């Protein structure tokens, strides 16, 4: 544990971190990649160029400093980031490298002399956090490795099937090349996928949500092509270059965004490609209902709210309609484009942006877990609506694509 003196010294730097945090993290990454270019195979260079990763790290460093005397409040964030690290194959020996360069960045940007008390305090604080991450990640690695069909590190898979869901989204079915079983996962989790596109100097690792329930034989990811103002290196590589029989490298399923094991009703809320983890959750819940042989007359426990541009961009639309006909789930859909005629013929189809108040009387607001996935702006918008309708914050769970952000 840290001494009170160390805690006080680190906390005394919070105003400087708030002012110069992003400059520190930008210098950190520049120095890190100059001295250790091999780490470009791990860190997403697109997020670096957009500035997303430096901003996220600056926020994380400041949050750590502010909560150094109450580490327990950081546990959920540490768990979430540790899962992301595992999906990247982060190793314990990389933490000292990161620490050395982070301290050098703090010293340079804040113009501190060697052995300044703030540097010594931050070194001690960083080492504590690094050990927390190393231990948390090792427990995840061990769990992945000990699971039936599990493994540690990378494993070769081949593309067994490709399905076009919408003009922008394709589903890829991935089977292990060794023909052996693969571990189960919880609906909402993701896999780390590593490829080396011809137009990239380094390996590219991305996290993709698993979009169907676990079956022990294959994984399915549903990938949106990113080409509107975004590089989309990996998504375009998957869409345009890879096909049946091509190989990719996967890290085991990870992620702390999954269904809570309780008797509460489930409300799934998504927008755009945020539908993918929700599809896995939905299929998992349906299988559970069928196993428990719930009577059709029972009130459905699954409510699915989804927003997208239009019907053509609505992935898994047919599958959702089939499920709704079985009486297992109620779908509510919002199309941004004006499809008034279609909306007038359906009590569950609306035009414009998602307005949860339109269906609030059909939702179990007081006794349900709510799961959100989609662009950050959408999730902030949806979460605020739920809070305004009286939903407790503890009942709202979410997943953010890319560097960790808080709603």
Question: And the tokens for 350?
Answer: 């609306």
Strands 155-164 and 169-176: antiparallel
Structural contact between residues 174 and 159, judged by C-beta atoms closer than 8 angstroms: yes
Environment class of residue 299 by beta-carbon count within 10 Å: exposed (0-12), middle (13-18) or buried (19+)? Answer: exposed
Alpha-carbon distances of 178 from 62, 156, 242, 318, rounded to whole Å: 45, 8, 19, 33
Set 29, 64, 126, 137: catalytic member = 137
Structural contact between residues 92 and 131, judged by C-beta atoms closer than 8 angstroms: no
**Maximum CA extent, the chain:** 73
Whether 137 sits among the annotated catalytic residues: the reply is yes
Set 27, 29, 64, 95: catalytic member = 95
The arrangement of strands across the sheet holding 155-164 comes to: 204-209, 190-195, 247-254, 155-164, 169-176, 219-224
Question: And the tokens for 228?
Answer: 């509107």
Position of tokens 């079956």? 215
The DSSP element (H or E) to which 323 belongs, if any, is helix 317-325
Whether 29 sits among the annotated catalytic residues: the reply is no
What DSSP character marks residue 326? T
Of 247, 316, 233, 327, residue with least CA distance to 280: 316
What DSSP character marks residue 219? E
Give, rounded to a whole angstrom, the gap between the first and last alpha carbons of the chain. 30
Of 312, 303, 311, residue with least CA distance to 281: 303
Between CA 171 and CA 273 the distance in angstroms is 12
Of 234, 241, 157, residue with least CA distance to 203: 234
Structural contact between residues 122 and 106, judged by C-beta atoms closer than 8 angstroms: yes
Between CA 305 and CA 293 the distance in angstroms is 24
Indicate the angle between helix axes 94-110 and 117-146, nearest 10 degrees: 150
List active site positions: 95, 137
């Amino acid at each position: 544990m840290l001494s009170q003196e160390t805690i006080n010294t680190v906390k005394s730097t919070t105003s400087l971190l708030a002012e110069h945090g992003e400059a520190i993290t930008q210098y950190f990454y520049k120095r890190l990649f100059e001295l250790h270019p091999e780490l470009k195979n791990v860190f997403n260079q697109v997020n670096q160029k957009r500035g997303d990763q430096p901003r996220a790290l600056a926020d994380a460093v400041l949050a750590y400093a502010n909560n150094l005397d109450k580490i327990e409040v950081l546990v959920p964030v540490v768990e979430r980031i540790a899962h992301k690290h595992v999906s990247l194959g982060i190793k314990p020996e990389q933490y000292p490298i990161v620490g050395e360069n982070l301290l050098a960045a703090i010293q340079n940007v804040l113009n501190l002399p060697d052995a300044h008390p703030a540097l010594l305090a931050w070194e001690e604080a960083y080492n504590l956090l690094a050990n927390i991450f190393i231990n948390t990640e090792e427990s995840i690695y061990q769990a992945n490795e000990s699971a039936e069909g599990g493994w540690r590190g990378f494993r070769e898979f081949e593309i067994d099937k490709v399905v076009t869901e919408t003009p922008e989204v394709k589903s890829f079915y991935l089977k292990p090349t060794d023909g052996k079983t693969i571990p189960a996962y919880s609906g909402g989790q993701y896999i780390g996928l590593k490829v080396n596109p011809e137009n990239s100097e380094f390996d590219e690792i991305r996290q993709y949500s698993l979009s169907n329930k676990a079956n022990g034989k294959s994984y399915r990811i549903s990938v949106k092509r990113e080409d509107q103002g975004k590089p989309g290196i990996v998504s375009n590589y998957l869409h345009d270059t890879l096909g049946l029989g091509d190989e990719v490298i996967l890290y085991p399923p990870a992620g702390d965004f999954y269904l809570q094991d309780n008797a509460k009703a489930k409300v799934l809320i998504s927008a755009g490609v945020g539908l993918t983890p929700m599809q896995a959750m939905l299929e998992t819940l349906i299988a559970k209902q069928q196993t428990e042989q719930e009577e059709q007359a029972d009130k459905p426990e699954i409510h699915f709210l989804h927003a997208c541009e239009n019907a053509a961009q609505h992935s898994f639309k047919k599958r959702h309609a089939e499920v709704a006909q079985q009486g297992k789930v109620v779908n509510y859909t919002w199309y941004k484009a004006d499809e008034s005629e279609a909306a007038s013929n359906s009590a569950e189809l609306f035009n414009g942006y998602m307005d949860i108040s339109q269906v609030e009387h059909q939702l179990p607001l007081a006794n349900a877990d709510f799961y959100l996935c989609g662009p950050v702006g959408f999730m902030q918008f949806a979460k605020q609506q739920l809070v305004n309708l009286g939903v407790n914050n503890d009942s709202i769970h979410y997943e953010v694509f890319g560097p960790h952000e808080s709603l």
